[in-house]
Chains A and B, each alone.
Chain A
Amino acid sequence: MSSFNVQIRHEQEIQILELYGELDAHTAPDLEERIKKLIDEEKYFIIVNFTSLDYISSAGLGVFMAYIEDVRTLGGDIKLTNMKPSVYNVFDLLGFPTLYDILDDEKQAAQRFKSEFDK
């Protein structure tokens, strides 16, 4: 069975989700639950750190497709960081880099949020 885990921490108002393992049609519902819960709790500034994610299929990307509009409409964003090349490649094939903020690391993503807060 695919192993997958999400750890959540926060730095001030920014929620940081760290993904571990493999994100496929079996494990995507776990991530979806976590993101839905954050939205329910009105936490709309979300960074997803992919450092320890080894694999993603379109079922995993689907979670980001389904919720980004809601989060942005509510004034927040989901920013994606630290992708391995094999994981980035899947996002790239689907044109995600023009639709999502995909950044090198959490620091960049946090700075991006801060510059957006200042606007």
Chain B
Amino acid sequence: MASSDTYRIDVPASTQQLSVVRDFVTNHARTYGFGESDIEEIRLAVDEAMTNVIKHAYQYDESKTVYVTLGKNKTEFWVAIQDSGEAFDIEKYQEPDVSERIKQRKKGGVGVFLIRKLMDKVEYSRKNSHNEIRMTKNL
């Protein structure tokens, strides 16, 4: 397998597909030699990113598609999730105060915070009406 190989799956924007994408990413991460705790972190980060796409970019419209691509080079493993929905403005993002959110009975809003904690690098971009979040873990 060439180190520049990339793999992709396209799935409907449905929460039913979260486990499919988790399995896809977990299986590849495992072949790249990551230990269990790194695999758990990658799996969770990807789940959080895809959940945000389904919820915010597509607002639960299951007719839309989520594009998941992954690959690695000599030093890094990366997963990119693309969508054609509403853009996420990372500039406006504020780190959540979990204790305050609990007081307000909020059901979450901590996904981006987790992704940033779990991965080594997180990049957002928008090109040709597609949003991309690219998450990288060092090998």
Contacts and interface: CB of A to CB of B under 8 A. Distances in A.
A72 B43 CA distance: 33
A70 interface: yes
Nearest to A22: B19
A70 B105 CA distance: 8
A25 B106 contact: no
Main secondary structure on A side of the interface with B = helix
Contact of B44 (A1, A25, A65, A90): A90
Interface in A42-98: 55, 57-59, 61-63, 65-70, 86, 89-90, 93-96
Contact of B18 (A24, A61, A66): A24
Contacts, number: 82
Q: How many interface residues does chain B have, given as a range?
A: 20 to 34
Contacts of A58: 48, 51, 108, 110-111, 114
B98 interface: yes
B105 A24 contact: no
B99 A99 contact: yes
Nearest to B113: A94
A93 B44 CA distance: 12
Contacts of B108: 58-59, 61-62, 65
